[in-house]
Amino acid sequence: MTTVGLLGTIHNAALREHYNCSLTLYKRIIDEFKPDVICGEVHPQSWQKYINDPQDKGYWGEPASEYWELIFPLCEEHRIIFVPIDWFELDVWNDFDPFKGYGTEERKELEKQDDAWFIKQMETSSYGNIPFNSIEFDQVTRMKYEWLYKMNPKSQNMRWQVRNQIMIQRVKNTIKNHAGKRILCIVGADHNYIFHDELQKEDVHWIYPLK
C-alpha cells in the first residue's frame, strides 16, 4: 500500500529557531520517513527555474528557504523524486487581498485581528512532538481561515480554498503515479488541516502527525 505522510513547516528561519523547529529537526523527520517522493509547496514554474539554474531563487520568497537549504539538496543526495504542488497566479494575487475594499481604519483593525490569530497559532507550539503539527494548532488555524472567509469570501475562495484544492489534487495525482511508494507532503503548517481532511480519505496508509 502507498504510504503518505504530512509535515507542516514554518517558512521563516527566525521563527523556526525560536519555536524549536529547526531545519535539523525537519531533516531528521524526513530521514526517518524515508520518502521515495516529496510533494512540496513549490510552484511548478519555480521548480523549473531551479532545474534550469539552481542559483535562481524564484520570486516573492517562493520557494521558501527550507527548500533551498534542505529539501532540494536532500532530494538530490538521496535521489528522491520531487513534485511541485503549489498553485497561484502571480499577476492577479494582489487583486485578491483579503482586506481589499475595507477603509483605512477598518483595515488596520482587521490586520490587528489577523496578527492576533497568528499569535494564537504560535501559542500552540508546545503541543505534539513536532511544533505546529498538532490537533491544537490545526483547530486554531481552521478558525483563523473561517474568520478570513467571513471577512472576504471572494479572496479566500481564490487564495485559500481553490489553491488548496489544486495542491491536494496534485498530491492525489502523485499517489496514482507512484503506487506503493512512500510519499511525503511538505507544506506550510497552515495547510495541515485541509490536507489532513482530504488525504485521509484516500486509499493509502496516512500518517499525520509524523511523530
* pLDDT tens for each residue of 11-22: 999 999 999 999
Determine the Cα–Cα distance for residues 167 and 170; give it in Å rounded to an integer: 5
Instruction: Give the per-residue pLDDT at 55.
Output: 78
**pLDDT band with cut points at 50, 70 and 90 for residue 60:** low
Q: What is the pTM of this model?
A: 0.95
Q: Is 109's pLDDT higher than 70?
A: yes
Q: Which pLDDT does position 59 carry in this prediction?
A: 62
Q: For 83, phi and psi rounded to 5 degrees? A: -120, 115
Cα distance between residue 170 and residue 84, in whole Å? 8
For 50, the grid coordinates are: 531551479
Task: Render pLDDT for 154-194 as a digit per residue (tens, 0 to 9).
Answer: 999 999 999 999 999 999 999 999 999 999 999 999 999 99
The pLDDT, as a whole number, for residue 21 is 96
Query: Which single residue is written with the C-alpha cell 543526495?
Result: 77
The pLDDT score that the predictor gives to residue 56 is: 75
Domain ranges, residue 74: 3-207
Element (H or E) spanning 42, and its range? none
User: What is the percentage of the chain residues whose pLDDT exceeds 70?
Assistant: 98
What pLDDT sits at residue 90?
Answer: 84
Percent of the chain with pLDDT over 90: 86
**Beta-carbon contacts of residue 125 (< 8 Å; ≥ 6 apart):** 19, 20, 21, 131, 132, 137
pLDDT over 90 (residue 3): yes
Burial class (CB in 10 A: 0-12, 13-18, 19+), 181: middle
Among the ranges given (58-62, 71-75, 153-157), the one the predictor scored with the smallest mean pLDDT:
58-62
> How many structural domains compose the chain?
1
pLDDT at 149 over 70: yes
Q: Left if phi > 0, otherwise alpha if psi is -120 to 50, otherwise beta: which for 16?
A: alpha
Quote the pLDDT of residue 58: 65
The average confidence (pLDDT) of the chain is 95
